[in-house]
């Protein structure tokens, strides 16, 4: 074993032996990441030895220089002679130590105790709250600039967003509204049939759709569809410094990116809501017909049950929901971090925030309408 000849058939495992009280480091065997972990023998000095004995070193990949570098770093001096190392290895070690370690850089980005984590969380939450308020404020200012004709954005962008959150949303809104209409009618019919009041299914579906379900369903679909798209788009723009590029051209990123989206969604939400109401009523009617209510009768009952006030309540709410979804989507996108994961996070937060906002707003409206007795 001691006299193993270099280049013998089976490579020997890597071994590092400190000799002569740590003044000589003897490196042996095949240092390779497929080889077993290196065997360390002798007491390691705090730093590197004066001399290396590499006569029995067979072959090495990065594991050997990595091992040496870890020891050199402990010694904290940058100039070693690396006596006895093969030329290439010495060259690599000198390269690795050529640029002094940025010691103040190490460890500073995160170093976590729980108290610190709590503090950071508090600061983050506080910052997020302030950012939300600032964003809402800026939205209003931006709308103001738009009203006096001083907001710049590209008409083409506006049309694209308009199409994306209007026409392209029609199929999914239709499907969901139709199914909701069906469900309402089914559930209503089972209960009302007990009193022989089948016909009132028409009232039930009409009022539920027009006051609540139409606008609510549309808002939830648009949160998942358009709010998420806004967040992902603006988030990746932020990650790529595209927003900074707008800013350096003297363009207001807010007017340029947020305003067209806000306007488009606020314009489209009411239209989608009316559409959703109609399709939902149609769905209800289908159930009505299937349980034997004549279509004409059903239709008349529906028309009689809806007053102009009832019908306008849903549409009125839809403006606010649209604004909430657009603001939530754009805000999380614009404030996203600079990584791909941050874009994903922003999208998630946009959807959660907009659905929460929509439901909270809706409860608020319900309370107000009850007080006003509408």
Partner 1 sequence: MSAPPTAKISVRDLTMAYGSFVVMKDLEFDVLERDIFIIMGGSGCGKSTLLRHLIGLREPARGEVFYDGASFTAAPTADRERFIRRFGVMYQSGALWSSLTLAENVALPLEEFTRLPARTIRDIVSYKLSLVGLAGFEDYYPSQVSGGMNKRAGIARAMALDPDILFLDEPSAGLDPLSARRLDDLILRLRDSLGSTFVIVTHELASIFAIGSNALFLDTATRTQGAIGPPCHLRDHSESATVRSFLNRGEDSAPETQP
* Residues binding partner 1 (CB under 8 A): 33-34, 37, 60-63, 65-67, 69-70, 73, 87-89, 91-92, 95-110, 239, 337-342
* DSSP result, 148-169: TT-----HHHHHHHHHHHTGGG
Half-sphere CA count of 282, side-chain side, radius 13 A: 12
Q: Which is nearer to partner 1, 106 or 156 (CB)?
A: 106
Work out how close the CB of 111 gets to partner 1 at its nearest, in angstroms, rounded to a whole number: 9
* Nearer Cβ to partner 1 (96/361): 96
CB atoms within 10 A of CB 332: 32
Residue 32 Cβ, how far from partner 1 at the closest point, in Å?
Answer: 9
Contacts of 89 (CB under 8 A, 6+ apart): 54, 60, 64, 65, 68, 82
Q: What minimum distance in Å lies between the beta carbon of 347 and partner 1?
A: 14
Which CB, 14 or 188, lies closer to partner 1? 14
Which residues are paired to 30 by β-bridges? 59
Q: Are 206 and 306 in contact (CB under 8 A)?
A: yes
Q: Is residue 18 within 8 Å of residue 44, measured between CB atoms?
A: yes
Q: Minimum distance between the CB of residue 336 and partner 1, rounded to whole angstroms?
A: 11
298: CB partners within 8 A, 6+ apart = 199, 201, 202, 285, 288, 289
Looking at beta carbons only, is 47 or 224 nearer to partner 1?
A: 47
Instruction: Extract the tokens encoding 350.
Output: 């946009």
Query: Contact 280/178 with Cβ under 8 angstroms?
Result: yes
CB of 88 to partner 1, least distance (A): 4
Q: Give the nearest distance from C-beta 104 to partner 1 in angstroms.
A: 8
- Calculate the dihedral angle through the C-alpha atoms of 328, 330, 331, 333, rounding to the nearest 10 degrees: 120
Smaller CB distance to partner 1: residue 90 or 225? Answer: 90
In the DSSP assignment, the letter for residue 50 is: S
Secondary structure element (H or E) that encloses residue 88, with its range: helix 87-98
In the complex, the smallest distance separating the C-beta of residue 254 from partner 1, rounded to whole angstroms, is 22
Could you tell me the smallest distance in angstroms from the CB atom of residue 34 to partner 1? 8
- Of 30 and 211, which has the nearer Cβ to partner 1? 30
Q: What distance in Å separates the CA atoms of residue 271 and residue 215, rounded to the nearest whole number?
A: 10
Rounded Cα gap, residues 313 and 307, in angstroms: 10
Cβ proximity to partner 1: between 13 and 224 the closer is 13
* Closer to partner 1 by Cβ: residue 55 or 300: 55
> Can you tell me the distance from the alpha carbon of 33 to that of 260, in angstroms, rounded to the nearest whole number?
56
Closer Cβ to partner 1, 119 or 337, answer by number? 337
Residue 164's closest CA among 278, 271, 276, 268? 268
d(CA 165, CA 272): 9
CB of 113 to partner 1, least distance (A): 16
Q: Which is nearer to partner 1, 97 or 221 (CB)?
A: 97
SS3 339: coil
Give the phi and the psi of residue 60 in degrees, each rounded to 5.
Answer: -150, 150
In whole angstroms, the minimum distance from the beta carbon of 346 to partner 1 comes to: 13
- Residue where the block lists tokens 């759709």: 209
Write out the two tokens for 156: 């083409």
């Amino acid at each position: 074993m001691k006299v193993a000849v270099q280049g013998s058939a089976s490579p020997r495992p890597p071994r590092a032996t400190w000799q002569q009280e740590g003044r000589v480091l003897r490196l042996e065997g095949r240092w390779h990441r497929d080889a077993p972990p290196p065997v360390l023998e002798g007491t390691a000095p705090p730093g590197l030895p004066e001399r290396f004995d590499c006569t029995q070193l067979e072959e090495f990949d990065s594991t050997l220089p990595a091992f040496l570098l870890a020891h050199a770093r402990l010694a904290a001096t940058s100039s070693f002679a690396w006596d006895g190392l093969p030329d290439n290895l010495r060259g690599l070690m000198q390269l690795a130590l050529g640029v002094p370690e940025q010691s103040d850089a190490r460890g500073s980005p995160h170093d976590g105790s729980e108290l610190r984590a709590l503090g950071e969380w508090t600061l983050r939450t506080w910052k997020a709250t302030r950012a939300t308020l600032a964003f809402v404020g800026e939205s209003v200012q931006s709308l103001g600039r738009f009203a006096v004709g001083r907001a710049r954005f590209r008409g083409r962008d506006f049309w694209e967003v308009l199409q994306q959150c209007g026409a392209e949303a029609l199929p999914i809104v239709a499907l969901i509204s139709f199914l909701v209409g069906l469900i309402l009618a089914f559930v209503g019919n089972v209960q009302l049939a007990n009193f022989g009041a089948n016909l009132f299914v028409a009232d039930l579906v009409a009022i539920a759709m027009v006051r609540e379900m139409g606008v609510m369903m549309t808002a939830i679909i648009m949160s998942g569809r358009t709010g998420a798209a806004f967040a992902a788009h603006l988030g990746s723009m932020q990650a790529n410094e595209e927003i900074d590029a707008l800013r350096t051209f003297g363009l207001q990123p807010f007017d340029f990116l947020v305003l067209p989206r806000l306007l488009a969604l606020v314009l489209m939400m009411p239209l989608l809501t009316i559409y959703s109401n109609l399709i939902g009523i149609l769905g209800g009617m289908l159930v009505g017909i299937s349980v034997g209510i004549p279509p004409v009768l059903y239709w008349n009952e529906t028309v009689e049950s809806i007053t102009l006030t009832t019908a306008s309540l849903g549409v009125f709410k839809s403006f606010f929901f649209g604004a909430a979804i657009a603001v939530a989507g754009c805000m999380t996108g614009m404030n996203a971090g600079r990584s791909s994961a941050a874009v994903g996070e922003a999208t998630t937060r946009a959807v959660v925030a907009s659905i929460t906002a929509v439901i909270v707003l809706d409860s608020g409206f319900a309370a107000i309408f009850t007080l006003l007795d509408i």
